[in-house]
Amino acid sequence: MESSIETIINIFHQYSIRLRDPETLIRKELKQLVQKELPNFLKKQHKDEEAINEIMEDLDTNQDKQLSFEEFIMLVARLTISAQMHPSVNIFKPETPSFPLPYIPLR
């Protein structure tokens, strides 16, 4: 589990250092991260741009148009909870049924 946590932190920083503040993700960085690191999740959402906008809006609790690590980790937590609640819908394998995995928004 420790290596998984370290991997999540490293992935966040791989994308957060690309443009502005190295401790936050802007929308463009979040989109790149999700497209590269969660490609099957996005496929199941059907509309990439709308999904990214919805995720960004939902996670950006202080509405500063960027995600801190604390805000970002809620995406990881919600995807993990959804995957556990719906084991037959595996977001990590493209051949699973093609209905979207529930995202569990904050609001």
State if pTM tops 0.85.
Answer: no
- Phi first, then psi, for residue 38 (nearest 5°) are -130, 50
Model confidence at 99, pLDDT cuts 50, 70, 90, reads very low
CATH number of 2-83: 1.10.238.10
Cβ distance 82 to 100 under 8 Å? Answer: no
| Segment 52-84, tens digit of pLDDT | 888 899 999 999 999 999 999 999 998 888 878
pLDDT of residue 103: 56
Comparing CA positions, the residue from 52, 57, 26 lying closest to residue 41 is 52
| Segment 10-37, tens digit of pLDDT | 999 999 987 778 899 999 999 999 989 9
- The domain ranges of the chain are 2-83
Radius of gyration of the chain (CA): 13
pLDDT at 3 over 60: yes
